[in-house]
Structure 1
């Protein structure tokens, strides 16, 4: 891989979907020997959980899969995220709308691609990753996140290989 690739996952509160995706992508990148090439982070558009560790359901699913979430704390998406990321991956259309508004209002020019997570899984009928904070189905989220993160790494390897 020619250079570092920056990925930021964005959801609403940064305690369920986006930290799960951050942890899973880090884990999968390490398994592929890409831990030095792929820089992963996550953030939220809402400030309700700032500083909180991932949700108990997210931690439970990551523990089951043997995936670390050590040191992760909820935070807001910021200008730096939007300007430096090669991929800004939002979990649903509401997150996309919020991020597009932050970009517009801040006069930000993103260097990377803004995409909805489910674009990585075109065979799935879902439009967005369901929020397990409301559905309670953290296993479904982990399944979708794992498949989507594999697809994202495949894309990164194709687009950034030297």
Structure 2
């Protein structure tokens, strides 16, 4: 089983959107038995909270299930469990490395470094632009699934 974890600051906007969208892509590719998906926050602000209403609205607009999404904080056990730990921005990456005590580990990567965008996923909690986040997360999900397929010979 391949385990993927998306991480952002609060686990209410970007990372739960990525979790839901990547899970949807995995299901559509009939890989649910091979890939598991989760999300977490570097902060403890929204533990147990549902995703932001903007994230929920965007997922609903594109008919992507938000079932089971709930805020939680990243912990050291995640480093052992997950094969891919995907941060939404450079600040998240720095926090992940510090929290997990792994200053430079290949399983930790910035989401859009897998795409041609090569930038942070802006936080719609602050920008209010959930459509931009959706488009960037969609591109990131496609690139990540392609990477996982190649690295694990999934056809």
TM-score using structure 1 length: 0.90
> Which segment drifts farther, 75-84 or 26-35?
75-84
Of 23, 43, 51, which residue of structure 1 is paired with 2:40?
43
- Partner deviation per Cα, 1:20-64 (whole Å, 9 max, x = no partner): 000000000111111111100000011111110000000000001
SS of corresponding position for 1:15: coil
- Partner deviation per Cα, 1:131-158 (whole Å, 9 max, x = no partner): 0000000000011111110110111110
SS of corresponding position for 1:124: coil
TM-score using structure 2 length: 0.94
- Partner deviation per Cα, 1:71-92 (whole Å, 9 max, x = no partner): 2110001112111211000000
How well do the aligned residues superpose, as a CA RMSD in angstroms? 1.7
- Structure 1 residue ranges without an equivalent (≥5): none
CA distance in 1, matches of 2:113, 2:105: 19
| CA contact 1:15–1:49 (8 Å) conserved in 2 | yes
Deviation at 1:18, TM superposition (A): 0.2
4+ residue runs over 4 A deviation: 108-112
Q: How does 1:13-28 map to 2 (within 5 A)?
A: 13-28=10-25
Corresponding residue for 2:66? 69
Corresponding residue for 1:56? 53
Matched length = 154
CA distance in 2, matches of 1:139, 1:17: 11
Corresponding residue for 2:125? 133
